[in-house]
Structure 1
Amino acid sequence: MKKEIFLIGFLFFMGCATQKDLARIEQHLVYLNGKIEDLEKNQQKIENIISSQQADLLVQVGPLQDKIKELMGQREETVYELQQLSRRIEETNKEIERSEKRLAELEAKLEKTIKMMEEKSIPSSKTQKEEWLYKKGLNLFRQKKYEKARETLNQFLKLYPLSPLAGNAQFWLGEAYFAQKKYEEAILAYQRVIKNYPKNIKVPAALFKQGKAFAMLGDNETAQILWKQVIKKYPKTKEANLAQQALKKIKK
């Protein structure tokens, strides 16, 4: 660009310009040359700044790239650990299934063994069979297996309706219903004790528990009538004392 400016000056000079014109042109050329130098200096400064910024960026980007690589490595490790965990969970589930299957087989064998032992332990005489079946139902009740207890006691009453233990069996049948909060069925079961086995030792208890069942159903009036009957008919029994206590509570 400087050469072009000098060339213009030379051509202008060759055109026989005046001294004044030449001085003006030369002054202008000096000004332009200064501007060019300033521009070149500014350009150099800009290039230096850009180079410096590029260097800074490289310094900043380096750790970022290292961090990204580190995170990618951690991600791969996490993915691997998750895959391993998934495999272990799958293996554990399979082991649980196998254990449950073995447990079911053992329970089936145990139930079969118990059944065989029960069959072998059934007594031969009629009286012994009665007692065995009654005790079985009573034991089931005490174990809180109320459904099975009721099935066994009903079976006993069906097979031995005239047995000396029939009244007791009927009472425990009512107790099983009561324990299951089937109060209406319990009331009917207790009533059969009172009606069918009036001389049985469980009659006072059946009458008292019948009152409790009515109370649980919200019929306190009927409950009080029944408890008063217990006190009147069986004054020296434990159930009479229980009936008196129940009446006091219900009147409060």
Structure 2
Amino acid sequence: MKKLKTAITGIIASVILSGCVTTSEFEQMKADIARLYVESSQLKQDVSELKTRIDKMSSDLTSAVALKEGQLTLLAQTQDYVKELQLLKGRFEENSFQNEKKFKELNDKIAELQAKLNQPAASPEKNELTKPAQETLKDPKAIYDSAHIDMKNKNFASAREKFQEIIKNYPDFELLPNSYFWVGETYYNEKKYEDAILAYEEFLKRYPKHDKAPGALLKEGMAFLELKDKKTAKVVFERVIERYPQSKEAEIAQQKIAEILNSGNSGKKTPTKKTKSKTKSKTKR
């Protein structure tokens, strides 16, 4: 602008000094110079605005590039997460399938036992009939204590009747869950393992979080083991470990699984144990 002003001033001065310009021409020159000033000012403003726009476009472009890079990184991370999720999903579905298969086998076995036990049975023996003394007991706690005395004296049939009486007539009794558990114990002690399994299962369905639940599930597995059904016993022991991993019963279940696996490898040791058990049973009788 300064150079333009200097040039215009020089032109005007030279024209005036030469004396060759008329008044109208001089006025026209003044108008042209004024127009040049306006155009120059407008051009300067346009250049400034253009520079501002270029700076803004450059900033936007930088932000867009950074955003694009961030999106690409996020996309890569998302793809990794999707792959990991698919892998975990596959493992979960595989484990679920195996567990469902095991539990179905266990439920089928229990249903088979239930059907077998639902068949008409012989009339109860006289020593399993309700004793007159039991009819006088109306307090559930007294009946419960009396049942435990029978358990101590190995009178399991009498004890079972008293526990079943509590279950039938005293649904609000605080030790009702224990009564369900002890019914299973009476059967187990009588070596009626099929009945014991069903009794333990009934208890577990009603009270899965009871403090006796780990013991009931462990004894259910032991009952299957006594019935020589090692496959189902192993499934039950695995169930103990899965449901009650911090319990003592879980440790025992782990040992029993190891014994089952070892017995499967040794083969010849099992018949020896069977012979011993038969000898013992004959001696007791």
Calculate the TM-score normalised by the size of structure 1.
Answer: 0.49
Task: Tell which structure's C-alpha radius of gyration is larger.
Answer: 1
* TM-score (norm. length: structure 2): 0.43
The structure with higher relative contact order (CA 8 Å, sep 6+) is 2
